Amino acid sequence: MSKVAIVTGSNRGIGKAIATRLAEDGARVVLCARDTALLDAGVREIEQAGGIAAAISLDLREPPAGQALVDFAVTKFGALDILVNNAGATKRGEIEELTDEDWADGFALKFFGAVRVTRAAWPHLRKSGGSVLMISGSGGRTPGSQFPIGGSVNAGLLSLTKALAETGMRDGIQVNAINPGVTRTERLARRLKALAEAKGVDLASAEAILIGEEKIVRIGEPEDIANLAALIVSPQGRSLQGSLIDMDGGSTKTI
């Protein structure tokens, strides 16, 4: 029987790419985000390609949502083997620009949402010998002045990954994290547009400027992260446990 996977934040970008790739590999995938129309479109794309998927619209900032998501997946497909915690974007800006509400919102979805979904999923993953994969971010290793919330949230997720990996060794659950860097998403498109306007250049030139400023080899693609995620949760990646894997084009310079 094929595996069952939950991917949060899977209506677009990295999450959608991961859900698509896992479905291509034969998993029955549950997509979760807030935008119902985009979720339904994602399910249709997977089904048209021959895969099996279902979707549920939830706001994972709400405490009951984590359990509701896991219950939906188990009711729909009868088991749970893979959980990919990808949901969550945080507001950019320097410390004086960011309010208490900005900070609370940043942690509510990406950190506490992941905690709640993982806690609800844990008994099912223990039964299946499953996998948890956190999609964190390079800012968790290399914080910057424009990314204090995101860096803090991502660092928390990396610490959580290490803690859960130890529990996972006892319970037979694989736990790892990927740190994407600058990746071609809708959020990046807005950033490039703003940079192009500020510099008075076209988008291609803005991208080249950003690559230089970030000191990376290229802009990452969502499919890059999806391919790595698929390897980690496959039998070939099972020796990975508590690994914090940078896939950021070289932006992380620390050892």
In the block, residue with structure tokens 């740190």? 179
Confidence of residue 254 (pLDDT cuts 50, 70, 90): confident
For position 1, what pLDDT does the model report? 61
Residues 23, 231 contacting (CB under 8 angstroms): no
Residues 15, 86 contacting (CB under 8 angstroms): yes
Q: Which residues lie closer than 8 Å to 82 by C-beta, 6 or more apart?
A: 3, 4, 5, 6, 22, 27, 130, 131, 133, 233
pTM over 0.85: yes
pLDDT in tens, 71-118: 999 999 999 999 999 999 899 999 999 999 999 999 999 999 999 999
pLDDT at 238 over 90: yes
pLDDT at 176 over 70: yes
pLDDT in tens, 45-61: 999 999 999 999 999 99
Looking at domain 4-183+221-247, its CATH class is: alpha beta
Residues 90, 113 contacting (CB under 8 angstroms): no
In the block, residue with structure tokens 């405490």? 63
